[in-house]
């Protein structure tokens, strides 16, 4: 009888198709994550009116989500780096699916905040899992696009969720939309168990030789540089997701039913941004290993496009401006993590992603209640300028904190 192959070789995909399957699994994971977190923002005009909550109170509930999400990302990342990907993801998705379904029982600010907090903690596993999977399953010259593919499920989920949940909420009520999210999470868990049986996921223990010759401490200047450029550069993503429905409904008087046909547009820019900038990052890596300062400067300037939104009353034009805002913010995500991963050992990849995303969660959690208050006061231009100034601050901090040389 033939001897079975070692566990490490049996679990690591060998053919090109199998090599990309882990990234596709992470695409589905991030897709579900953003389905679950997007339902509240999409239906916020209806839910806030039904529960008699203000935009500021809504922002406070988002702050709870963001703080829990911020704390959870490095925790889940640390656990993944040490205990393995499979059961960590299984526990996280089970937890957040239960929390997402519980939103159907919201009665006010307290229950909204509690359910958002548990959801945020569970979803903190999503993007550490994506970077860790790509770092272990793909060669260096394919990792940026692999990362973009893994993370693009989030933007895809944000784009498609309005088309799915709005008709569901209109016909069966907004509470039914949250029950739907719990069912979707359960289906992913079944698929994940199927991948376990097939052996298609990154191995628990496999440290490439290239990491053994360049040990880097987990805590270093580049870790904080990546966190700064990610957190501030990607700030427009959160603003686009949470503020677009309110802006369209309050300023341009778009109905909740019509929003369901429009809100896919801004996240589509995020999706396209991930894939375009992921490809560009891989092409750039083949030519040079220099740090991407020029790319960050370009993205920084482009982030100011969103400030012209109040000049237009055309819904298609406003949607396109939010599309571009999220397109360029997606570039910050891809290049920030690609640059950070290039100077960190892969055994710390999940922690790098978790720590960086925590900075984004902290920033957006602090910003959104403030921006919600400005929305209530109809200071829309001020909110747009505040958001557009975040990327320049991130670029400045990245330039200040980073090490000058890439140690390959």
**First vs last C-alpha separation in the chain:** 44
Please tell me the total number of residues recorded for the chain in this structure: 408
**Is residue 306's pLDDT more than 80?**
yes
Give the tens place of pLDDT for each residue, 57-67.
Answer: 888 898 888 88
What is residue 217's predicted lDDT score, i.e. its pLDDT?
A: 60
As given in the structure block, the two tokens for residue 196 are 């376990």
13 alpha-carbon distance from chain centroid: 25
Q: Are 136 and 203 in contact (CB under 8 A)?
A: yes
Which distant-in-sequence residues (6+ apart) come within 8 Å of 309 by Cβ? 247, 318, 321, 322, 380, 384
At 194, the pLDDT band (50, 70, 90 cuts) reads confident
Q: Find all residues with CB under 8 Å of 106, minimum gap 6, and list them.
A: 47, 51, 112, 115, 175
Residue with tokens 């500021």: 56
Mean pLDDT for the chain?
A: 84
Residues with Cβ within 8 Å of residue 408, at least 6 apart in sequence: 214, 289, 342
Instruction: Give the span between the Cα atoms of 40 and 103, in whole angstroms.
Output: 9
Residue 372 banded pLDDT, cuts 50, 70, 90: confident
In sign, the C-alpha dihedral spanning 274, 280, 283, 284 is negative
CA distance 57 to 393: 28
Residue with tokens 């957190």: 231
Average pLDDT over residues 322-333: 94
Report the C-alpha gap between 188 and 32 in whole angstroms. 8
408 pLDDT band, cuts 50/70/90, is: very low
- For residue 404, the model assigns a pLDDT of 67
User: What pLDDT is recorded for position 59?
Assistant: 82
Structure tokens at 59: 């922002």
For helices 16-42 and 235-250, angle between their N-to-C axes, nearest 10 degrees: 40
pLDDT at 11: 43
Digit-coded pLDDT (tens) for 225-260: 999 999 999 999 888 877 888 889 889 998 877 887
State pLDDT tens for residues 135-177: 877 887 888 888 888 888 877 887 788 888 888 998 999 999 9
How large is the average pLDDT for residues 351-364? 86
Beta strands in 31-186, from DSSP E residues, in sequence order: none
Instruction: Specify the pLDDT at position 72.
Output: 92
Percent of the chain with pLDDT over 90: 39
How do residues 210-222 score in pLDDT, each as one tens digit? Answer: 444 455 566 788 9
pLDDT on residue 297: 96
The yes-or-no verdict on residue 202 having pLDDT over 60 is no
Band of pLDDT at residue 406, cut at 50, 70 and 90: low
Q: List pLDDT tens digits, range 275-297.
A: 899 999 989 888 877 889 999 99
pLDDT of residue 326: 92
């Amino acid at each position: 009888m033939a001897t079975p192959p070692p566990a490490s070789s049996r679990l690591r995909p060998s053919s090109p198709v199998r090599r990309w399957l882990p990234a596709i699994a992470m695409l589905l994971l991030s897709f579900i994550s953003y389905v679950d977190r997007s339902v509240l923002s999409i239906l916020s005009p209806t839910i806030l009116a039904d529960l008699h909550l203000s935009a500021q109170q809504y922002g406070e509930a988002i702050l709870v989500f963001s703080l829990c999400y911020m704390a959870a990302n490095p925790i889940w990342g640390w656990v993944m780096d040490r205990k393995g990907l499979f059961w960590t993801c299984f526990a996280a998705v089970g937890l957040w699916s239960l929390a997402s379904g519980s939103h159907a029982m919201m009665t006010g600010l307290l229950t909204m905040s509690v359910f958002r907090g548990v959801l945020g903690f569970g979803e903190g596993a999503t993007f550490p899992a994506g970077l860790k999977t790509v770092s272990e399953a793909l060669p260096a010259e394919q990792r940026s696009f692999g990362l973009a593919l893994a993370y693009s499920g989030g933007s895809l989920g944000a784009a498609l969720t309005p088309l799915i949940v709005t008709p569901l909420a209109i016909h069966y009520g907004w509470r039914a939309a949250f029950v739907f999210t719990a069912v979707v999470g359960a289906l992913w868990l079944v698929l994940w168990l199927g991948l376990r049986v097939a052996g298609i996921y990154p191995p628990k223990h496999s440290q490439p030789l290239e990491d053994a010759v360049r040990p880097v401490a987990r805590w270093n200047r580049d870790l904080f540089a990546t966190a700064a450029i990610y957190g501030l550069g990607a700030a427009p993503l959160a603003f686009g997701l949470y503020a677009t429905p309110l802006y369209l409904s309050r300023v341009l008087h778009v109905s909740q039913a019509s929003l369901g046909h429009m809100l896919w547009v801004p996240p589509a820019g995020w999706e396209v941004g991930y894939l375009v900038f992921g490809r560009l990052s891989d092409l750039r890596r083949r030519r040079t290993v220099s740090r991407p300062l020029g790319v960050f400067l370009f993205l920084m300037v482009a982030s100011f496009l969103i400030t012209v939104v109040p000049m237009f009353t055309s819904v298609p034009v406003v949607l396109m401006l939010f599309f571009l805002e999220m397109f360029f913010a997606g570039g910050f995500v891809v290049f920030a993590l690609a640059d950070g991963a290039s100077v960190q050992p892969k055994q710390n990849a999940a922690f790098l992603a978790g720590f960086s995303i925590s900075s984004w969660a902290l920033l957006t959690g602090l910003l959104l209640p403030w921006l919600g208050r400005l929305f209530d006061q109809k200071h829309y231009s001020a909110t747009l300028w505040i958001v557009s100034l975040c990327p320049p601050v991130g670029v400045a901090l990245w330039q200040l904190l980073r090490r000058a040389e890439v140690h390959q």
